[in-house]
Chain A
Amino acid sequence: MFPARYAREMPHRYRLEAHKCKQCGKVFVPRREICDKCGATEFEVIRLSDRVKLVTYTIIHTPASQFKDQSPYALGICEFPEGVRLTAQVVDIDFADLKTGMDLQVEFRRIQTDGHEGILSYGYKFVPVI
């Protein structure tokens, strides 16, 4: 991943920062300039909770090249209490134990490695609650 793009995404990938519309309260990740619900342009920065519900998931057997060594892996869409849904890997769990509606928590993990010489990219994954 290009370092400049990676750095731009740090607020939401590292800290789960979201933008909450000051007018209607809709929450966005990543940030937006205009609220698609009410058209307002002013937002406050909030941090999402670290507990989520698994909405749906799939098992990836044929991944993109940078994730080849991790396959097969589970990819889930999870809903945060703030109403936002995010997609990330679900790890540290047997596939047979995955259930839609189950509680998961967010954990900071290495997402990808840019070959032997490039930067290491970090962000969030979902794991069972402990």
Chain B
Amino acid sequence: MEGIVGYGAHIPRHRIKVEEIAKVWGADAPSYKRGLQLREKSVPPPDVDTITLSVEAAKRALKRAGVDGAQLGAVYIGSESHPYAVKPSGTVVAEALGAVPDCHCADYEFACKAGSEAMFVAMGLVKAGYIDYGLAIGGDTSQGAPSDALEYSASAGAAAFIMGRENLVAEIEYSNSYMTDTPDFWRREHEFYPQHAGRYTGEPAYFKHVTGAAKALLKKAGAEPGDFQYCVFHQPNGKFPMRAAKMLGFTKEQNLTGWLAPTLGNTYSGASPIGLTAILDVAKPGDRIFMVSYGSGSGSDGFIWKCADRLAEVQNLVATTRTLLDERLTYVDYGTYAKYRRKILKNY
């Protein structure tokens, strides 16, 4: 039996409200809040990046797993904001956790599903018996161009999962992947910000792949939406995952616990993985969780998790995801946000 042995999240404490961004660009904040179902988003200060978020999330995961970094056979980080263009994020994270040198390490990229890719591969290696424990992380300090719709959602956060075979907190029952070549969102080399295809990012991209993966996964498992206590989907905004859940037959109640976008924003590769951590924080042994990620380009990974008895023992060993999301927040104005996100050109 394989699954998650430990999990953890990390979210910066800084937030910016939709009104603060809209004010600068002359946009109508209420319509953005209503249309995207977003109220605020996390903001990484200058000393926080995908590597630092990954390390902190992984430390929480290791503590919940009761595993030492040296026991990790693989360290995989999925992100579209790796701090270096050439040099792995994973080596820094592995070194910080004490996982070096006997460890396989790779950085993954697949827009917003890079995190679930890392989970998929780490789980596969554990299942194959190549490693005892694999660390999979999804995290981003997402980019959104000034004044673009993405600027209201692009945020920061990471989730980490230790995959293993013993002392599980959640067993994996089924997984699948669904992908096509769909040019809905991209960032060319040397460009600061991604571009997107507007409305094309909806039906032919997000909804096609999320519902396609979900339906295939339900069929594979011989299950129906009512068989699950929780569901979590990729959340580029607050609206899309709620609509996807409804299209598939899940209820709002099943989707609420992992639906973090309204106050977290879109953490790209961290989005559905962080949502999963919020569910694991409150789920009970025996509960089943339905998860589908989405990455532009495009593809979705689906997982069905069944919570194990040990989950209750580890939920409060470290800060929960809701604690990280809701407590000790610092709200910043647009000027501070622009400085933190290096949007100010110092041409001297």
Contact call A14/B96, Cβ cutoff below 8 A: yes
Query: Which of chain A's residues 29-46 have a Cβ closer than 8 Å to chain B?
Result: none
With beta carbons under 8 angstroms apart, the residue of B59, B84, B98, B319 that contacts A130 is B319
Contact call A120/B84, Cβ cutoff below 8 A: yes
Is A122 interfacial (CB 8 A cutoff)?
Answer: yes
Residues of A within 8 A of B324 (CB): 130
Q: How many residues of B contact A (CB 8 A)?
A: 25
Contact call A15/B47, Cβ cutoff below 8 A: no
Pick 15 A–B contacts, CB within 8 A, sort by A.
Answer: A47-B98, A50-B59, A89-B47, A91-B45, A92-B13, A92-B330, A108-B52, A109-B47, A110-B48, A110-B49, A111-B47, A120-B51, A122-B52, A125-B47, A130-B328
Is B119 interfacial (CB 8 A cutoff)?
Answer: no
Residues of B within 8 A of A49 (CB): none
Residues of A within 8 A of B59 (CB): 50, 108
| Complex interface bits, A87-130 against B, C-beta within 8 A gives 1, otherwise 0 | 00101100000000000000111110000000010100100101
Chain A interface (Cβ within 8 Å of chain B)?
10, 14-15, 47, 50, 69-70, 89, 91-92, 107-111, 120, 122, 125, 128, 130
A-B contact sample (7 more), CB < 8 A, given A109-B48, A122-B52: A14-B96, A47-B98, A91-B47, A108-B59, A110-B47, A122-B92, A130-B327
Give the docked Cα–Cα distance between A120 and B93 (Å).
13
Q: Which 6 A-B pairs have the closest CB atoms?
A: A108-B55, A109-B47, A14-B96, A110-B47, A108-B52, A130-B319
Give the number of residue pairs across the A-B interface with Cβ within 8 Å: 54
Is B343 interfacial (CB 8 A cutoff)?
Answer: no
| Complex interface bits, B305-348 against A, C-beta within 8 A gives 1, otherwise 0 | 00000000000000100011001101000000001000000000
Give the docked Cα–Cα distance between A10 and B49 (Å).
18
The chain A residue sitting closest to B10, CB to CB, is: A107
With beta carbons under 8 angstroms apart, the residue of A70, A91, A92, A108 that contacts B96 is A108
With beta carbons under 8 angstroms apart, the residue of A50, A70, A108 that contacts B46 is A70
Residues of B within 8 A of A91 (CB): 45, 47
Contact call B339/A110, Cβ cutoff below 8 A: no
With beta carbons under 8 angstroms apart, the residue of A10, A70, A92, A109 that contacts B52 is A109
Contact call A69/B339, Cβ cutoff below 8 A: yes
Residues of B within 8 A of A130 (CB): 319, 323-324, 327-328
With beta carbons under 8 angstroms apart, the residue of B48, B56, B95, B328 that contacts A128 is B328
Contact call B323/A108, Cβ cutoff below 8 A: no
